[in-house]
Structure 1
Amino acid sequence: MASKSENMRDEDIRKIEEGGFNSTNIPKTNYNIGFCSSAAVVTITQKVIAELIGTFFVIFAGCGSVAVNKIYGSVTFPGVCVTWGLIVMVMIYTVGHVSGAHFNPAVTITFAIFRRFPVWEVPLYIAAQLLGSILASGTLALVLDVSPKAYFGTVPVGSNAQSLALEIIISFLLMFVISGVATDNRAIGDLAGLAVGMTILLNVFVAGPISGASMNPARSIGPAIVKHVYKGLWVYIVGPISGTILGGFAYNLIRFTDRPLRQLTLSASFCNFKTTSATTTTTGPN
Structure 2
Amino acid sequence: MTSHGEGIEDEQISRIENGIATDCHGGIETVICTSPSIICLMQKLIAELIGTYFIMFSGCGVVVVNVLYGGTVTFPGICLTWGLIVMVMIYSVGHISGAHFNPAVTISFAVFRRFPWSQVPSYICAQLAGSLLASLTLKIMFKITPEAYFGTIPTDSNVRALVSEIIISFLLMFVISGVATDNRAKIDFIVKSTPINVDY
Deviation for aligned residue 1:185: 2.4
Q: Tell me the alpha carbon deviations over residues 49-82 of structure 1, each in whole angstroms, 9 at most, x when there is no partner.
A: 0000000000000111111111112111111111
Q: Tell me the alpha carbon deviations over residues 151-191 of structure 1, each in whole angstroms, 9 at most, x when there is no partner.
A: 3344433321121111111111111111122111212218x
Identical residues among aligned pairs (%): 65
- CA gap of 1:160–1:285, structure 2 versus 1, over 3 A, is farther
Deviation for aligned residue 1:39: 1.2
Q: 2:62 maps to what in 1?
A: 65
C-alpha contact (below 8 Å) 2:112/2:181 kept by paired residues: no
C-alpha contact (below 8 Å) 1:62/1:87 kept by paired residues: yes
User: Which amino acid in structure 2 is aligned with residue 50 of structure 1?
Assistant: A
Q: 2:96 maps to what in 1?
A: 98
What RMSD in Å do the two structures reach over aligned CA positions? 2.2
Q: State the alpha-carbon separation in 1 of the partners of residues 183 and 113 from structure 2.
A: 16
The correspondence of residues 227-238 of structure 1 with structure 2, limited to 5 A, is: none
Deviation for aligned residue 1:110: 1.6
Please give the secondary structure, in 2, of the residue aligned with 1:81.
Answer: helix
Q: State the alpha-carbon separation in 1 of the partners of residues 139 and 35 from structure 2.
A: 39
- Greater fraction helix: 1
How many residue pairs get matched?
A: 160
Q: Tell me the alpha carbon deviations over residues 111-166 of structure 1, each in whole angstroms, 9 at most, x when there is no partner.
A: 11221111110110000000000000000011012233433344433321121111
In structure 1, list runs of 5 or more residues that go unmatched. 1-36, 194-283
Provide the TM-score with structure 1 as the length reference: 0.52
Q: State the alpha-carbon separation in 2 of the partners of residues 185 and 113 from structure 1.
A: 16
Provide the TM-score with structure 2 as the length reference: 0.73
Q: 2:161 maps to what in 1?
A: 163
**Is 2:86 the partner of 1:88?**
yes
Q: State the alpha-carbon separation in 1 of the partners of residues 60 and 84 from structure 2.
A: 13
User: Which amino acid in structure 1 is aligned with residue 37 of structure 2?
Assistant: A
Between stretches 181-190 and 62-71, larger displacement belongs to 181-190
Q: State the alpha-carbon separation in 1 of the partners of residues 73 and 186 from structure 2.
A: 33
C-alpha contact (below 8 Å) 1:64/1:152 kept by paired residues: no
Q: 1:43 maps to what in 2?
A: 40
Q: Tell me the alpha carbon deviations over residues 176-225 of structure 1, each in whole angstroms, 9 at most, x when there is no partner.
A: 111122111212218x88xxxxxxxxxxxxxxxxxxxxxxxxxxxxxxxx
Q: State the alpha-carbon separation in 1 of the partners of residues 92 and 81 from structure 2.
A: 16
User: Which amino acid in structure 1 is aligned with residue 50 of structure 2?
Assistant: I
Please give the secondary structure, in 2, of the residue aligned with 1:96.
Answer: helix
Please give the secondary structure, in 1, of the residue aligned with 2:40.
Answer: helix
Deviation for aligned residue 1:95: 0.7
**1:107 pairs with 69, 87, 105, which one?**
105
User: Which amino acid in structure 1 is aligned with residue 65 of structure 2?
Assistant: V
User: Which amino acid in structure 1 is aligned with residue 91 of structure 2?
Assistant: Y
**Structure ID, larger Rg:** 1
Larger RCO (CA within 8 A; separation ≥ 6)? 2
Stretches of 4+ aligned residues off by more than 6 angstroms: none
